[in-house]
Amino acid sequence: MLVQCYPVFPKGARVTVKLELQPGSAPIQFEARVVRTVGTDHMGLQFNRLGAMESTRLQQFLLPLILAVT
């Protein structure tokens, strides 16, 4: 996942990600590792320890967005 944020953490850093998929819904939270940085305000994250429930919620959120683009 490419994320825009400031500050950008260095490659190899472990971070905790919290995503609110819809306003008012409980956020999903998981660990990730920075796999690359792009410029001064973007970093690529690789998900670690994404639970089954969090994975399902993320897929349900992303699938309609992906299908709308294709």
Give per-10-residue mean pLDDT for the chain (70 aa).
Answer: 91 94 91 94 92 91 89
Exposed e or buried b for every residue in 21-44, given b needs 16+ CB within 10 A?
eeeeeeebebebebeeeeeeeebe
pLDDT of residue 50: 86
8 Å CB contact between 45 and 3? yes
Count of domains forming the chain: 1
pLDDT of residue 56: 92
Q: Whole-model pTM? A: 0.78
Domain of residue 16: give its range. 2-69
